[in-house]
């Protein structure tokens, strides 16, 4: 198939989260499987400073935005390690800024205008570049207008008639909600600003727009696809998603094992695989303890957390447990991440007062993240919700047993160490089901008692996890099925319109 990815961020050119990792890796795997793939994203300042080779194409375009015309042009590169082309929409007034979406904690006030321009520019670029396209794969609210434009403006345009759209929802919490007068910027008729299509409690909602108009919908794990159709996780759009349930599926993200593999990882003190982890992993643990200033104690359980310090990630639960455990339990904590100032203060205080128990690096370091995955015994992910999650997948590969809240992709990828699952040989970690400090502490105790008291079960958990295959190959095949279904729905929609004439 001919597939064009349109996304607001793509690694390694510009990144704020997992969306960029998906859009940097999945196109390459699809190309390996025989598809013709291209990628489009904005030409942010970070893109131009990424160190990747980028060239101007000499292709310019004029885009209507409200009552004005805005000019842009195209740049080109390739995704590293592949020949997949990536095209950048350059418009410096919109994209040459310090950050991608916000500055000093505040969203850019013209975000709607910026991404209206990007969506229209991406569609025009397909024509100007003469790209063959069967499916446009859109990602999150920043591209939510593309399915609407395809349905309303491009449905009968030469070269676009057969182009289907697939929208992937990476996180329902981010919807692109703007005041109603921004509808004028889209250029779409006001008749679409209604409860069933683009309006959301009197405002313009770009994620809702994409959900309503896309030919196919996916999100980043099967469990999350179920959760977002409920009031608890739908963020107000559960009714729309329920109506479109037949078009929605969950496909869990993959891992790039050329980067996340303890057998080849250049950042580790000692490389290891499932065959020799009992030699290599202790070496990595000792090296990590030295690096973090923790006592070098082989049998003290080392619990790791890497990522954003926020309530959504369950940090309020973690802090409640940590405050007791630093006084009671012979365990160590390795923490890497940044986030809410309150957690910076609390974790800084815990690490200063209990340096033999807590090592908190309130920063981000990709290299240290690799060493933590390799050196820790347990990896804790108590997120209140987690559309997919990647660190639990890295942990499985690195023999670091995950302890997770049973939600979203965490529930889909970590199999709880119940007696039944252990007997069947499928257990890979520990789950708790209520997002409370009590449930977290009980499950963490269960994991640590297993670590201390039953080396055979611990070995089974480690090795079963390390043998899991969460590579992009399987995910890409599921996406191919979703593309075909989206194309089929698009053809059926066109046939319905013909019979209505």
Kindly list the structural domains of the chain, giving each domain's residue range(s) and its CATH number in brackets, ordered by start: 2-254 (3.40.50.2000), 277-470 (3.40.50.2000)
Average pLDDT on 242-252 reads: 97
Of 52, 49, 455, nearest to 278 by C-alpha is: 455
pTM of the full structure: 0.92
Strand ranges (E), 21-163? 36-42, 55-65, 68-78, 85-90, 102-103, 106-107, 135-139
Residue 4's beta-bridge partner residues?
Answer: 38, 136
How high is the pLDDT of residue 501? 63
Percentage, residues of the chain above pLDDT 70: 100
Q: Report DSSP state, residue 183.
A: H
8 A C-beta contact, residue 406 and residue 218: no
In angstroms, the CA 196 to CA 440 distance is 40
Single out the residue of 373, 367, 372 nearest to residue 399, CA to CA.
373
Could you read off the pLDDT of 197-214 as tens digits, one per residue?
999 999 999 999 999 999
For residue 472, pLDDT beyond 80: yes
Looking at residues 180-195, what average pLDDT do you find? Answer: 97
Residue 249 corresponds to which tokens in the numbers above?
């599926």
Pseudo-torsion of CA 174, 212, 491, 147, nearest 10°?
-50
- Of residues 102 and 121, the one with the higher pLDDT is 121
Binned at pLDDT 50, 70 and 90, residue 278 comes out as very high
List, for residues 283-341, the tens digit of each pLDDT value.
999 999 999 999 999 999 999 999 989 999 999 999 999 999 999 999 999 999 998 99
The CA R_g of the chain, rounded to the nearest whole Å, is 24
Distance of alpha carbon 225 from alpha carbon 221, whole angstroms? 6
CA-based end-to-end distance of the chain: 30
Write phi, then psi, for 6 (nearest 5 degrees): -125, 120
Angular region, 106: left φ>0, alpha ψ -120 to 50, beta rest: beta
Q: What is the mean pLDDT of the chain?
A: 96
On the question of pLDDT at 108 being above 70, the answer is yes
User: How many residues can be counted in the chain?
Assistant: 501
Q: What is the largest CA-CA distance in the chain?
A: 76
Q: What is the pLDDT of residue 137?
A: 98
Query: What pLDDT is stored for residue 200 in this prediction?
Result: 98
pLDDT at 18 (0 to 100): 84
Confidence check: pLDDT of 496 > 90? no
| pLDDT in the model for residue 70 | 98
Where are the alpha helices (H) located in 196-333, listed in sequence order?
Answer: 206-213, 222-227, 238-243, 277-292, 315-328
Sign, CA dihedral 334-337-341-342, equals: negative
């Amino acid at each position: 198939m001919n597939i064009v990815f349109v996304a607001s961020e793509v690694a390694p050119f510009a990144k704020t989260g997992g969306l960029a990792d998906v859009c940097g890796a999945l196109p390459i795997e699809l190309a390996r499987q025989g598809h013709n793939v291209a990628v489009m994203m904005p030409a942010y300042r970070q893109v131009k400073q990424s160190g990747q080779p980028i060239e101007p194409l000499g292709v310019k375009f004029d885009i209507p935005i409200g009552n004005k015309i805005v000019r842009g042009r195209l740049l080109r590169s390739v995704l590293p390690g592949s020949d997949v082309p990536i095209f950048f929409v350059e418009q410096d007034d919109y994209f040459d800024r310090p950050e991608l979406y916000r500055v000093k904690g505040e969203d850019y006030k013209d975000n709607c205008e910026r991404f209206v321009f990007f969506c229209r520019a991406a569609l025009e670029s397909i024509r100007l570049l003469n790209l063959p396209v069967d499916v446009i794969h859109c990602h999150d609210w920043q591209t939510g207008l593309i399915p609407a434009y395809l349905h309303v403006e491009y449905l009968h345009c030469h070269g676009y008639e057969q182009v289907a759209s697939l929208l992937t929802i990476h996180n329902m919490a981010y919807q692109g909600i703007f005041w109603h007068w921004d509808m004028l910027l889209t250029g779409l008729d006001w008749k679409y600003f209604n409860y069933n299509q683009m309006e959301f409690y009197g405002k313009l909602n770009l994620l809702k727009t994409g959900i309503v108009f896309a030919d196919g919908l996916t999100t980043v794990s099967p469990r999350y696809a179920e959760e977002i159709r409920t009031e608890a996780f739908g963020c107000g759009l559960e009714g729309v998603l329920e109506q479109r349930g037949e078009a929605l599926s969950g496909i869990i993200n993959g891992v790039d094992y050329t980067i996340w593999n303890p057998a080849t990882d250049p950042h580790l003190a000692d490389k290891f695989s499932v065959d020799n982890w009992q030699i290599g992993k202790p070496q990595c643990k000792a090296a990590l303890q030295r690096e973090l200033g923790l006592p070098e104690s082989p049998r003290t359980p080392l619990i790791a957390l890497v990522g954003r310090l926020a309530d959504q990630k369950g940090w309020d639960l973690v802090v409640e447990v940590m405050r007791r455990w630093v006084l009671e339990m012979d365990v160590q904590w390795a923490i890497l991440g940044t986030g809410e100032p309150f957690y910076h203060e609390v974790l800084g205080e815990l690490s200063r007062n209990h340096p033999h128990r807590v090592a908190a690096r309130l920063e981000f370091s990709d290299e240290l993240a690799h060493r933590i995955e390799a050196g820790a015994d347990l990896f804790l992910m108590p997120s209140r919700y987690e559309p997919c999650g990647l660190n639990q997948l890295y942990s499985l590969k690195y023999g670091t047993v995950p302890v997770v809240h049973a939600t979203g992709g965490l529930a889909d990828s970590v199999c709880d160490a119940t007696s039944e699952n252990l007997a069947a040989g499928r257990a890979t970690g520990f789950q708790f089901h209520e997002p409370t400090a009590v449930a977290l502490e009980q499950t963490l105790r269960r994991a640590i008692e297993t670590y201390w008291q039953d080396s055979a079960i611990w070995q089974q958990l480690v090795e079963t996890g390390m043998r899991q295959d969460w590579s992009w190959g399987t995910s890409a095949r599921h996406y191919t099925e979703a593309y075909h279904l989206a194309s089929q729905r698009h053809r059926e929609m066109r046939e319905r319109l013909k019979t209505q004439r």
